[in-house]
Structure 1
């Protein structure tokens, strides 16, 4: 696989850095939308599998995340982040104007990708949501009820049964290891409501949807996400729930099975 390279685009609040895993023989585009507190560089293994499958892979670091500009982990309005992702899609399409595009969103990135599909789904061939923050996620309600948000970072052990994943996460200087910030929690609550409301007004219809989730996901519990998946009302939904898996199924001990399921789904979606 060719070495990844970085592009700088203008986002809603300064520079957004977009990573590209190039493929000179690409037959489709894959847009990776990362989760809270992390960065798209953590998706090198899924990107490698996608490139081997025929994708040119692109993914932005969101505002306040990774190598992009902005106060760390502060997102005041997720609609702005969706717009930044749309700019990253434009960058990918400028390099590969005639290829179909799929979007893969993890956790917070699942919320962003779901909203993107509501707004721009006609331009996608498939949507993949991994441990998505959609539906009934109670964390924002619980945190906003407190006078002060506790300084409790994400536990590395909650990510994967592979201890190496947690160790790499804990040592990664581009990962945010501090508390959540109130403007971001408030923005989460608003966007969860927006996605649910817009889903009631009309689902994503014919856009093929793959839902991946760890059965032992304690950061984004499966039952709450199921509410959101049902609200999205895709005509064609494929779900894969992995027994024992934690939050980051792309970094789990059964990663091979997850990536096999992903490319098998994409084969079907791209054949439509």
Structure 2
């Protein structure tokens, strides 16, 4: 197995990326992480599980996240979030060539890969989205929604707390503990993330019928952060999507009590589509 870090500049921002390559990769996952976290969180279980099955992984830390520079929890605009995926896909081509490629996004990343597939028509073999941020499972304070819409017009760089309870990410107490004590995780979010991601989630559901790629959507029925019924709505509007609901599952399925089943399901789906 080869692990290498790489750096690239996009939209005047210095990005951090990394990839893992098994000796004989049969496919590659381009991973887009969720809000407030970073690519390195996937290195302990997610990545090794895929590598054992000869599935390579390439990922990056998004605007304002992890080891990528910039104000925590802020990005220039939504199109910049999509265009950086294009940069990483180009890096994927450089490292892995033309092997079967799957865009994989968790939560906010799920929102991004679904919208990317709907609007950019990338050269990939399929899309995988876990707990995709299509609609929140809770109602943010009204004052924050109002303030966010105003700030997006006059000061889009201002960040506020995302109101998330770390205990809602997983039923595994150890994973919650690690999340709470991870110095690279933050709870800051600007209107360019919060307001825009919510709006684009609604757009994705409305336009799901335009999807042209085999898509696998996974969601937990007890996700208190992102509404799993929104994933059901999306899947019901397209013949391209396969949906699996994990009974009792929390938000981070790959870090939840059902993580082994989840990763095996992902591997089986990738293998069946190669």
**TM-score of the superposition, structure 1-length normalised?**
0.88
* Aligned match of 1:50: 50
Count, aligned residues: 263
Alpha-carbon separation, structure 2, partners of 1:226 and 1:76: 30
Alpha-carbon separation, structure 1, partners of 2:168 and 2:98: 40
Deviation at 1:151, TM superposition (A): 3.9
* Aligned match of 1:93: 93
Unaligned runs of 5+ in 2: 152-158
Distance of aligned partners of 1:192 and 1:26 in 2 relative to their CA distance in 1, 3 Å threshold: same
- Equivalent position to 2:228, from 222, 232, 239: 222
Alpha-carbon separation, structure 2, partners of 1:31 and 1:204: 18
| SS of aligned partner of 1:9 | strand
Contact 1:134 1:224 in 2 (8 A): yes
**TM-score of the superposition, structure 2-length normalised?**
0.87
| SS of aligned partner of 2:210 | coil
Distance of aligned partners of 1:167 and 1:88 in 2 relative to their CA distance in 1, 3 Å threshold: same
TM-align CA RMSD: 2.3
Report whether the alignment pairs 1:187 with 2:196.
yes
Output aligned runs, 1:170-181, within 5 Å: 170-176=180-186, 178-181=187-190
- Equivalent position to 2:170, from 156, 160, 163: 160
Distance of aligned partners of 1:193 and 1:214 in 2 relative to their CA distance in 1, 3 Å threshold: closer
Distance of aligned partners of 1:254 and 1:33 in 2 relative to their CA distance in 1, 3 Å threshold: same
* Aligned match of 1:211: 217
Distance of aligned partners of 1:53 and 1:95 in 2 relative to their CA distance in 1, 3 Å threshold: same
Alpha-carbon separation, structure 2, partners of 1:62 and 1:228: 25
Deviation at 1:13, TM superposition (A): 3.6
Distance of aligned partners of 1:182 and 1:265 in 2 relative to their CA distance in 1, 3 Å threshold: same
- Equivalent position to 1:257, from 257, 261, 270: 261
Alpha-carbon separation, structure 2, partners of 1:160 and 1:136: 17
Mean Cα displacement is larger for which, 256-265 or 153-162?
153-162
* Aligned match of 1:145: 146
Deviation at 1:115, TM superposition (A): 1.3
* Aligned match of 2:9: 10
Alpha-carbon separation, structure 2, partners of 1:195 and 1:75: 20
